[in-house]
């Protein structure tokens, strides 16, 4: 598919002839330079935008509307400051009209798994950055969608918190078997998490490479020091036009 924006006397070709597929249960990461159309791609997938050319197929169908079919977590957590953690994470159920008692129970069943036990009734201002991201991820999880689109969910976190949440997310994904598509600017993160990495070229975004990550699961942080992992990172950096010689 392709997408162009026109406005304020400018024409911006965001995506051109982008084509790939994600299979059920896969963990796919997407990397690319700023402006390569990664977030636009997600907005197209979830139905907030429509492509100028091409189509988006979900479960073998071209639905007339994609709104609500895929779980979507944007770059910011967007937690509502006047709602507790519990009331924030059940927001998708509130919108769907699910009875509050039912949605709260479903959320409480997952609170511990998402590392939020004991904080259910706190407000977002009392949470660390990592816990806010966990809450936002739980909210996305509770949409009930089989496929989750996560747009740089760990981008604003410090390195140690990011590594902790990477392993936690992989554990949740492997336990429950959802399909995850994950945008990141971090090449190491892309390779560490994924079954497959999709590299978008500079604007207009095009698929430069689909790289299969042939690393065993479960993943371990010790893999980052292994030669095979370094080679994957060097390959991805070269695709992005960055010298990867510092990765040994």
Do 154 and 139 share a domain, yes or no? no
My answer on whether 62 and 102 are in the same domain is no
Answer with the one of 98, 128, 144 that is the final residue of a domain: 144
Is 137 in the same domain as 164?
A: no
Answer yes or no: is pLDDT of 182 > 90: yes
3-class secondary structure, 209: strand
Whether residues 154 and 130 share a domain: the answer is no
Question: What is the distance between the alpha carbons of residues 21 and 141, in angstroms, rounded to a whole number?
Answer: 21
Q: Note if the pTM is more than 0.85.
A: yes
**Domain endpoint, select from 124, 144, 164:** 144
pLDDT level of residue 243 (50, 70, 90 thresholds): low
Q: Residues 98-119: pLDDT tens digits?
A: 999 999 999 999 999 898 999 9
Whether 11 is in a domain gets the answer no
Are both 175 and 206 inside the same structural domain?
A: yes
Does 181 lie in the same domain as 236?
Answer: yes
Please report which confidence band the pLDDT of residue 202 belongs to, taking 50, 70 and 90 as the band edges: confident
122 and 222 assigned to the same domain: no
Residue 47 lies in a domain: yes
Residue 226 in domain = yes
3-state secondary structure of 199: strand
Structural domain that includes position 127 = 77-144
Q: What is the pLDDT of residue 247?
A: 36
Give me the CATH number covering residue 37: 3.40.50.300
Average pLDDT estimate for 91-97:
88
Q: What does the pLDDT read at residue 248?
A: 34
What average pLDDT does the segment 228-237 reach? 93
Quote the CA–CA distance of 123 and 127 in Å, as a whole number.
7
For residue 57, the model assigns a pLDDT of 94
Residues 223 and 164 in one domain: yes
Give a yes or no: residue 121 inside a domain. yes
Rounded Cα distance, 89 and 132, in Å:
11
Between helix 129-141 and helix 100-111 the angle, nearest 10°, is 130
Tell me: do 155 and 239 sit in the same domain: yes
Q: Are 158 and 229 within one domain?
A: yes
Alpha carbons within 13 A on the beta-carbon side of 181: 24
Domains in the chain: how many in total? 2
Q: pLDDT (tens digit, 9 = 90+) per residue, 38-86?
A: 999 999 999 999 999 999 999 999 998 999 999 999 888 899 999 999 9
158 and 40 part of one domain: yes
- In the block, tokens 């598509």 appear at 181
38 and 158 housed in the same domain: yes
């Amino acid at each position: 598919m392709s997408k162009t924006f026109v406005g304020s006397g400018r024409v911006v070709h965001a995506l051109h002839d982008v084509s790939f597929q994600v299979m059920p249960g896969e963990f796919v990461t997407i990397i690319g330079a700023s402006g390569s159309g990664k977030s636009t791609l997600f907005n197209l997938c979830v139905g907030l935008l429509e492509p100028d050319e091409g189509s988006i197929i979900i479960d073998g169908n071209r639905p007339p509307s994609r709104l609500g079919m895929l779980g979507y977590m944007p770059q910011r957590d967007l937690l509502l400051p006047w709602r507790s953690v519990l009331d924030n994470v059940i927001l998708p159920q509130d919108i769907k009209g699910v009875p509050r008692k039912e949605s709260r129970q479903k959320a409480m069943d997952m609170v511990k798994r998402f590392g939020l036990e004991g904080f259910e009734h706190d407000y977002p201002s009392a949470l660390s950055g990592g816990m806010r991201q966990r809450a936002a991820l739980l909210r996305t999880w509770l949409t009930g969608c089989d496929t989750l689109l996560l747009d740089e969910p760990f981008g604003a976190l410090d390195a140690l918190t990011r590594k902790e949440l990477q392993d936690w997310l992989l554990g949740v994904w492997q336990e429950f078997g959802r399909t995850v598509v994950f945008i990141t600017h971090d090449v190491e993160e892309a390779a560490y998490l994924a079954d497959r990495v999709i590299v978008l070229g500079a604007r207009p975004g095009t698929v430069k490479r689909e790289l299969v990550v042939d690393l065993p699961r479960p993943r371990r942080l010790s893999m980052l020091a292994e030669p095979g992992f370094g080679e994957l990172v060097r390959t991805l950096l070269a695709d992005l036009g960055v010298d990867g010689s510092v990765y040994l």
